Amino acid sequence: MFCCSAHSDVGTEIQGRDRAIVKKLVLYVFAITLGIVGLRAWAYFATKSLAIEAAFLDSIKDCFVSLLNVDFIWLSTKSADAKYPFGYGKIEAFAALIQSIFLLVVGASIIYEDVAQHASHESIVGQTNCWVTVALVFSLFLVVLLAVIQTHYAKKIKSAALRADSAHYKADIAMNAAVILCFLASSKLHWLDSLVGIGIVVYFFVIAIMIGKRSLDCLLDRSLPIETNSKISEIVDNAGVTQFSVVTRHLGRGEFILVKVTHKQNASTANISAQQKRVESDIHKQFPRSYVVVSNIFEERRS
C-alpha cells in the first residue's frame, strides 16, 4: 500500500517574470548578434583571412543558435499541461544539442577551407587594414556586452541553455582577441593565420562535445550529480525520515525528485502527512523549480 504526493507549480509569478525577461532578451540578442555578424562579414571579405573566416562563421552560428535558444527558453517557461505534465523544460536540452551539432559542422567546414586554400596555394591573408582592425575590436566589445547580458539574465531565470550560451560567449572573448592579434601579426607570420584558424576549430570541437554531453544527460534522464543527490538526502534526513531512497533526473528548467519513504504498518496517517509536507517544503526551499514526488510505502506484514 502506498500513497503519493506531487508538487510541480513553481509559481505563476516566477513564470510571468521569466517570460517578461525573455521578451527583453530577444531584442538584445538580435541587435547585438546582427552587429557582430555584419562587422565580421565585412572584415572577412576585405581580408580573406582564415582566422577571421572562422570567427565570422562562428558569429553566424551564434546568431542562429542564440535566437533559437531564446525561442526555446520562451517555450520552456510554459506551464505544465495535460500533454506535458512535467513541463517543457527539456526543450532547452534539445536546443543545446542542436548547437553542438552546428559547432561540429562549422569546424569541419573551416578545416575543409584551410586544406583547399593550401592545396591551391592561394594566399590566406590579405593586407592589414586599420578599419578592419577597428571592426574586429568593436565586434569584440559587442561579444563582451552580450556575455555580460546573458550572464545577468541566466542568473535571474535559472536557464541551463542561457548559461551554456553565456559560457560560450565568454570563451569567444579569448578567441576573438586571438583573431585580432593574429590579423595584426599575419603580414609577417603568414602561417599564424592558419594556426589560429585550426586552434579555433579545436575549441569548437571541445565545446561541442561538452554541450552535447550535457544535453544528452538531460534528454536521457541521467541522475542529478552525486553532490545534488547527497544534498537532497540530507534534506530528507533532517525532516525526520529514517528509511528512504531518492531518485532524480533533469527536467531542463528544474529537477524531478522522487522520494520513496518506507513506513511501519502502525504509522499514523497524520504523522505521515506532516512528514510528507515537511519533506516537500524543505526540498522546494533549496530547489524551487523542482517537481517533487513523495511516495509513502508501508512495510509488508511478516507472517
What is the predicted pLDDT for the residue at 8?
Answer: 44
How do the pLDDT tens digits run along the chain, 303 residues long? 444 545 444 444 556 666 677 777 777 888 888 888 888 888 888 877 766 777 787 788 777 777 777 777 777 777 777 888 777 778 878 877 877 787 787 777 767 766 665 555 554 444 456 777 788 888 889 888 888 887 777 777 766 666 666 666 766 776 677 777 766 765 565 666 667 667 777 877 887 888 888 888 888 888 999 999 999 999 999 888 888 999 999 887 778 999 999 888 888 888 888 888 899 989 988 888 788 899 888 877 665
> Would you say 129 and 45 are in contact if contact means Cβ atoms under 8 Å apart?
no
Helices (H) and strands (E) in the chain, counts: 8, 4
User: Which cell goes with 19?
Assistant: 517570460
CATH 1.20.1510.10 fits 11-219, yes or no: yes
Report the C-alpha gap between 56 and 63 in whole angstroms: 11
Widest pairwise Cα distance in the chain: 90
Residues making up the chain, counted from first to last:
303
Pick from 260, 262, 265, 263: nearest CA to 301: 265
CATH dotted code for 226-298: 3.30.70.1350
* Rg of the Cα atoms in the chain: 25
Domain ranges of the chain: 11-219, 226-298
| CA distances for 268 relative to 2, 158, 227, 271, 277, angstroms | 13, 39, 33, 5, 15
Asked whether the beta carbons of 111 and 180 are under 8 A apart, the reply is no
Confidence at residue 186, expressed as pLDDT on a 0 to 100 scale? 58
Residue 246 has what pLDDT? 92
The two domains 11-219 and 226-298 share their CATH topology (first three levels equal): no
Cβ neighbour number for residue 265 with a 10 Å cutoff: 10
Non-local (6+) Cβ contacts of 50 within 8 A are 110, 113, 114, 117, 124, 125, 193, 194, 196, 197
